[in-house]
Structure 1
Amino acid sequence: MSKPLLSLSLDLDNQWSYMKIHGEAGWEKFPSYLDIFVPHILKVLDELNLKITFFIVGQDAAFEQNHAYLRALADAGHEIANHSFKHETWLHLYSKEEMKNEIDSAHTIIEKVTGKTPTGFRGPGFSWSSTLLEVLSEKGYAYDASTLPTIIGPLARLYYFSTSSLSKEEKEDRKEIFGKFSDGFRRLKPYYWKFTKQHKLLELPVTTMPVFRIPFHLSYLLFISNISIHLMMLYLNIAIFLCKLTKTEPSFLLHPLDLIGGDQITSLAFFPGMNISSDRKIFIFKKVMKKLGKHFTLTNMNDHVTAIKERTVLTSIAVPTAS
């Protein structure tokens, strides 16, 4: 009997986007670590024989100095997806015209640089709206992956604000980052957003622990590993058990700073978790992948979505008038 699927994706947030989100000065110069991170992650993924999905920010693809690194991801056989153009966590506030321009501009430059057509999207900071879903559906995207069904969104936002240099106005723009408490009760399994009989869009949520609705993607596992590696594995084992019990095929999320430390990205050494060395992060990543690989077939988002559509009758949910 074949194992259930688990899709792996990485939001390729660059140095400037981390700085922008946290209100750090100098982000407007668009400093980049792609020259360090991309060769690093490609080597690790090649060692593990993994093909994953990279959600790329359009602004990064617009700079020629990044082209070789972004193309290398595609040339290595990884799926390329859309992570917006400007990486603004207040994407849900955009008008229809602004949203179309944001998605289209990112889509066009990412396709031009990588040679691959994005068919999936994830909003920065899990930002989404009915306008976004409508635009993606009209553009013919295969899936959205912007929702994070967790009850601890407000707590994550409070911590984020407390460690940032954001002004009062900037915090107001970001007041829905990581979602609301009520988002924890959204569906955890894939479903269709329904617009009309002809138009629908598959939603593949970032998986949180069934029943408890708390995250277990790599950022959280790293945080727990700082307390105890055994506690981290217990936490992961509970998540795996509950996913299998509820027949939930996970969508597992990665971020660049989950896989590289302040020893290599010195400019972000002050960020949470960057005191963990790159070698330690890769050790934990490989340990987590080995455990997940025992229970699931690891794949990219598009292959996961294709398999879901072929073998599963999905629930359809009306697109909300506001998110």
Structure 2
Amino acid sequence: MSKPYLSLSLDMDNQWSYMKIHGEEGWEEYPSYLDIFVPHALQVLEELDLKITFFIVGQDAAFEKNRQYLRQIADAGHDIANHSFKHETWLHLYTKDEMKAEIDSAHDIIHEVTGKAPSGFRGPGFSWSGTLLEVLAEKGYKYDASTLPTVIGPLARLYYFSTSNLTKEEKEDRKEIFGKFSDGFKKLKPYFWNTKKNQQLLELPVTTMPVFRIPFHLSYLIYISNISSNLMMLYLNIAIFLCKITKTEPSFLLHPLDLIGGDQITSLAFFPGMNVTSERKVFIFKKVMKKLGKHFTLTDMNGHVDAIIYKKGLKTVQVPN
């Protein structure tokens, strides 16, 4: 009997985007760590023989200094997806014209630089709206992956605000980042959105622990490992068990800072979790992948989406106004 699928994706948030999110000065100069991170990540993934999906920010692809590294990702056989152009976590406030320009500009430059046309999207900070879904469907995208069905979104936002240098106005723009408590009750398994024009778009949520609806993607596992490695594995084992008994095929999320520490990216040493060394993070990542690989077929987002569409039989949900 074949194992259920688990898709792996990495949101390619660059140094400037972390600084922008936290209100740090100097982000407008668009400092980048792609020259350090990309070769590091590709080597780790090659050692594990893994192919994943990289959600790329269009603004990074627009800079000549980054292009060779983004091309390396595609040349290594990894899947490429769209993570917006400006990486703004208030994407849900965009008008339809603004949204179309944002998606199109990112799509075009990512395609030009990597040679691969994105067919999937994830909003920065899990930001999404009915407008976004309609634009993606009209553009012919296969899927959206912007929803995070968790009940701890408000707590994550509170912590984020308390550790940032954001102004009152900037906090207002970001007041829905990480979602509302009610988002924890959204569907956890994949489903189809149905737009006003009767177009369908697959939603592949970032998987949280079934029943409890708390995240278990790598950032959280690394945090727990700082308390206890055994506790981290217990937490992961519970998540795997609940996914299997509920027949939930996970979409497992990664971020650059999950694989690299402040020892290599010294300019982000202030960021949570950057006190963990790159060596330690890679060790945890490999341990987690080995565990997940025992229970699931590890694939990229497109492989997972194709399998889901082949199976069909999913529920359809009306796109919200």
TM-score, normalisation: structure 2 = 0.99
After superposition, the Cα gap between the structure-2 partners of 1:168 and 1:197, relative to the gap in structure 1 and judged at 3 Å, is: closer
Matches within 5 A, 1:76-155: 76-155=76-155
Q: Deviations over 1:261-304 (max 9, x none)?
A: 00000000010000000000000000000000000000000110
1:226 match: secondary structure: helix
CA deviation after TM superposition for structure 1 residue 229, in Å: 0.2
Matches within 5 A, 1:7-18: 7-18=7-18
Q: 2: distance between equivalents of 1:9 and 1:312?
A: 22
Tell me the equivalent position of 1:267.
Answer: 267
Q: Deviations over 1:71-126 (max 9, x none)?
A: 00000000000000000000000000000000000000000000000000000000
Give yes or no for the alignment of 1:179 onto 2:186: no
Compute the RMSD of aligned alpha carbons. 0.6
Matches within 5 A, 1:1-323: 1-196=1-196, 198-321=198-321
CA deviation after TM superposition for structure 1 residue 195, in Å: 1.4
Count of aligned residue pairs for this structure pair: 321
Percent identity at matched positions?
81
Structure 2 unpaired stretches of 5+: none
Q: 1: distance between equivalents of 2:195 and 2:19?
A: 36
Q: 1: distance between equivalents of 2:313 and 2:63?
A: 42
Q: 2: distance between equivalents of 1:26 and 1:223?
A: 28
2:86 match: secondary structure: coil
Equivalent residue letter for 2:71: R
Equivalent residue letter for 1:286: K
Q: 2: distance between equivalents of 1:192 and 1:18?
A: 31
Over 4 Å off, 4+ runs: none
Q: Report the more deviating stretch, 137-146 or 308-317.
A: 308-317
CA deviation after TM superposition for structure 1 residue 311, in Å: 1.2
CA deviation after TM superposition for structure 1 residue 196, in Å: 4.9
Equivalent residue letter for 2:240: I
Q: 2: distance between equivalents of 1:247 and 1:227?
A: 30
CA deviation after TM superposition for structure 1 residue 312, in Å: 3.0
Q: 2: distance between equivalents of 1:173 and 1:195?
A: 26
Q: 1: distance between equivalents of 2:260 and 2:219?
A: 12
Native 8 Å contact 2:196 2:319 kept in 1: no
2:248 match: secondary structure: coil
CA deviation after TM superposition for structure 1 residue 11, in Å: 0.1
Q: 1: distance between equivalents of 2:139 and 2:167?
A: 35
Native 8 Å contact 2:133 2:195 kept in 1: no
Q: 1: distance between equivalents of 2:149 and 2:187?
A: 7
CA deviation after TM superposition for structure 1 residue 197, in Å: 7.0
2:210 match: secondary structure: coil
After superposition, the Cα gap between the structure-2 partners of 1:124 and 1:25, relative to the gap in structure 1 and judged at 3 Å, is: same
Q: 2: distance between equivalents of 1:226 and 1:162?
A: 21
Structure 1 unpaired stretches of 5+: none
Q: Deviations over 1:194-229 (max 9, x none)?
A: 015741100000000000000000000000000000
Q: 2: distance between equivalents of 1:237 and 1:94?
A: 40
Equivalent residue letter for 1:68: Q
Q: 2: distance between equivalents of 1:144 and 1:77?
A: 21
Q: 2: distance between equivalents of 1:103 and 1:197?
A: 19
2:227 match: secondary structure: coil
Q: 2: distance between equivalents of 1:312 and 1:67?
A: 37
